[in-house]
Structure 1
Amino acid sequence: MSDQKLQKIGVLTSGGDAPGMNAAIRAVVRACIYYDITPYGIREGYEGLIQNDMYRMEAGSVKHIIHQGGTILKSTRCDGFRTKEGRQKAYDNLQKRGIEALVVIGGDGTFQGANIFGKEFDFPVLGIPGTIDNDISGTDFTIGFDTATNTVIEAVDQIRDTATSHNRLFFIEVMGRDSGYIAISSGIAAGAEEILIPEKDRGMDKLIQSLEQSSRRNKTSRLVIVAEGEKSGSIYELADNVKQKFGERYEIKVTVLGHIQRGGRPSCADRVLASRLGVAAVEALKGGKKRIMVGVQNHKVVHTNLEKATKQRNTIDEDLLKIADIVSI
């Protein structure tokens, strides 16, 4: 199958949207055209496969989208694709259109579905990691992570102005139900006093210790960055516990950044990463690869088996936790 002549490749986005997905779609489409392959866009992820909602794309179909957040192909959860019947219908629709391979852009859930589908029908499927959580094994960075982190830093910098002016303690919740990458990266960059993440249950004692330390040093602003999946409780419970401990010493405020982290124009880093991986995906399929994910490690494009990418997760670098503790004193 090496360097086989593909005629048609489909591309879809699935799961949560991430800044840079459009840049990846653009790269896939343009790479297909460069290699004389016809690209097909599939609307609303796996639902589009089942509903046969696909269309032929041209170079002009992806003009003026590299700077846009979200995804022009739309994305939705698809329960139907979890069933054998749904996947059979998706396969039949691909066969009717003569689409011979599939590029899926998304995260862990997207890749699990792609891996199952590829195995069942021996169909060439290739994954591009697009998720703000940066929790996919096999790549140093996922598309959307850099933009989301920069969005958080910009917001936290503005919150710090208020915290300093009024000597307030702010608890700021960022996205990361199972991953603390956004929290740890933005917390270090924004100068947070404490960072709470799902991977490490550091407990209330560590938080109280950090706040007491910053109080003794007469810091004029105090920021605690909390990943939404942090195990010590909700951000409101954390704030209440601290208030009970310190009484009137702190005026405590809570800010939940929410879905602003998913939106906005993708950063330069995410646009370049998306472009590299989009081209790499088409070239890998053209070379006969199947059921792999393309990623970047040590600045080089690498291939990772989809099953491995879904079963393993990126782990937080212990050095980052150490750095966060050192620079927050």
Structure 2
Amino acid sequence: MSKNIKKIAVMTSGGDSPGMNAAIRSVVRTCAFHNIECVGIYRGYQGLIDGDFVEMTARSVSNIINKGGTILKSARCKLFRTPEGRNVAHKNLLKEGVEALIVIGGDGSFTGAMIFNQEYGYPVIGIPGTIDNDIYGTKYTLGYDTALNTVVDVIDKIRDTASSHNRLFFVEVMGRDAGHLALNAGVGAGAEEILIPEENLGLERLLESLERSRKSGKTSSIVVVAEGHKTGENVFGLAEYVEKNLPNYDIRVSVLGHLQRGGAPSCFDRVLASRMGVKAVESILEGKSNYMVGINNDTIVLTPLDQAIKGKSEIDADLLRVSDIMTI
């Protein structure tokens, strides 16, 4: 390990996700283990520009591994998108004596880190934190497993009332550009149909599937809809269309919204965050920069930030086939 780096900063940026606090804890305690100073930056890039820094020690991150959200807060920052804003951020880091930056967030946050590195040669490492699981270079992102379990738990509860009243529920989950959450939750909760951005089911096929389910004896149904699905209608429009064409169904819509982001992280996310935090700090100490930490085949790996940003996470084609078989 290189001992040239003496002070590292960590921040969370973009949408919060369960496991971010566990990752902060891991970064801070890995720094302490290697006798490196660590500072936290409040409110992401906005705090970087405002100079909102706080010293962090092993004890300052006690009892946060089980908490959702992020103790360092998060914020959108338009000013960091400008050269002037990034210049102020760079001066603040130099003034504080910080020599490297760890950014926990999604592709937007990584884009900012990559540009910052290109302009100033400043060492940066990214840790992927987003419930959408849509970052290239990692099988899982922090928060995805927790959100998935939250969604399945909620759908299980919705199915209870759907069965009691012989209803069809459209359940919208997050996933503007990727359907990982909808697909896995749909299979896990036994949904009759799953609508995702990667596949256009088509309105007619949706009607045929629901009518087939009704004729086969199903008295209630669940359709899981990713918010970025390509079927052609928003979730309320879908409900209206089906209600008009299949009047035998009593239809309801449930938009899960931000409850998917909250809650205590699962054990999987806590362990993953701990592993990623250690890898991020030790990669910096080894002289590496402009990488994202990820996990593939249960091994912690590094992916260049530009590939993580530009690459596309692939939907599991085999799981799509499984979902088709399960809807019979």
Would you call these one fold, judging by a TM-score over 0.5?
yes
Paired residue for 1:193?
192
Contact in 2 for aligned 1:179/1:199 (Cα 8 Å): yes
Alpha-carbon deviations, 1:112-147, whole Å to 9, x = none? 100000111000000000000000000000000000
Contact 1:15 1:106 in 2 (8 A): yes
Q: Distance in 2 between matches of 1:58 and 1:230?
A: 44
Deviation readout 1:30-88 (Å, 9 max, x if unpaired): 00000010000000000111000001111111000000000000000000100000000
Residues 7, 98 of structure 2: 8 Å contact kept: yes
Higher alpha-carbon deviation: 314-323 or 30-39:
314-323
Q: If the length of structure 1 is used for normalisation, what is the TM-score?
A: 0.98
Identical-residue share of aligned pairs (%): 57
The residue number in structure 2 matching 1:280 is: 279
Quote the Cα distance in structure 1 between the aligned partners of 2:209 and 2:156: 20
Q: Which residue of 1 aligns with 2:159?
A: 160
Could you say which residue in structure 2 is the equivalent of 1:202? Answer: 201
Q: Does 1:242 align with 2:242?
A: yes
Shift of 1:26: 0.2
SS of residue in 2 equivalent to 1:225: strand
Give 2:301's aligned amino acid.
V
The unaligned stretches of length 5 or more in structure 2 are: none
Verify the 8 A CA contact 1:174 1:227 in the aligned structure 2: yes
Instruction: List per-residue Cα deviations over 1:154-184 (Å, max 9, x = no partner).
Output: 0000000001111100000000111111100
- Amino acid aligned to 2:42: R
Q: Which amino acid aligns with 1:222?
A: S
Task: Give 2:236's aligned amino acid.
Answer: Y
Q: CA deviation at 1:4?
A: 4.3
1:220 Cα offset (Å)? 2.5
* Aligned equivalent of 1:323: 322
Q: Which is worse superposed, 152-161 or 215-224? A: 215-224
- Given that 2:211 and 2:246 are in contact with CA atoms closer than 8 Å, whether structure 1 keeps it comes out as no
* Paired amino acid for 1:195: I
CA apart distance, 1:286: 0.5
Q: Tell me the CA shift for residue 279 of structure 1.
A: 0.6
- Offset of residue 3 of structure 1: 2.4
Unaligned runs of 5+ in 1: none
Q: What is the aligned-residue RMSD (CA, Å)?
A: 0.8
Equivalent residue, structure 2, for 1:266: 265
Structure 2 counterpart of 1:64, one-letter code: N
TM-score (norm 2): 0.99
**What's the counterpart of residue 37 of structure 1?**
36
Q: State the alpha-carbon separation in 1 of the partners of residues 90 and 73 from structure 2.
A: 20
1:76 equivalent to 2:69? Answer no
Shift of 1:20: 0.5
Indicate yes or no: 2:170 matched with 1:171: yes
Q: For residues 193 and 87 of structure 1, what CA distance do their matches in structure 2 show?
A: 49
Q: Secondary structure at the match of 2:258?
A: helix
Q: Which position in structure 2 is the counterpart of 1:145?
A: 144
Counterparts of 1:17-56 in structure 2 under 5 Å?
Answer: 17-56=16-55
Runs of 4+ in 1 over 2 A off after TM superposition: 2-5
Please list the CA deviations of residues 80-107 of structure 1 after superposition, one character each: whole Å capped at 9, or x if unmatched. 1000000000000000111000000000
How many residues are matched?
Answer: 327
Inter-partner Cα distance in structure 2 for 1:125 and 1:134? 21
Q: Which moved more, 1:274-283 or 1:202-211?
A: 202-211
Q: 1:146 is matched by which residue type in structure 2?
A: D
2:240 alignment partner AA: D
User: CA–CA distance in 2 between the matches of 1:5 and 1:146?
Assistant: 36
Deviation of 1:281 after TM superposition, in Å, equals: 0.3
| 1:42–1:54 Cα contact (<8 Å) kept | yes
User: How far apart are residue 318 of structure 1 and its match?
Assistant: 1.2
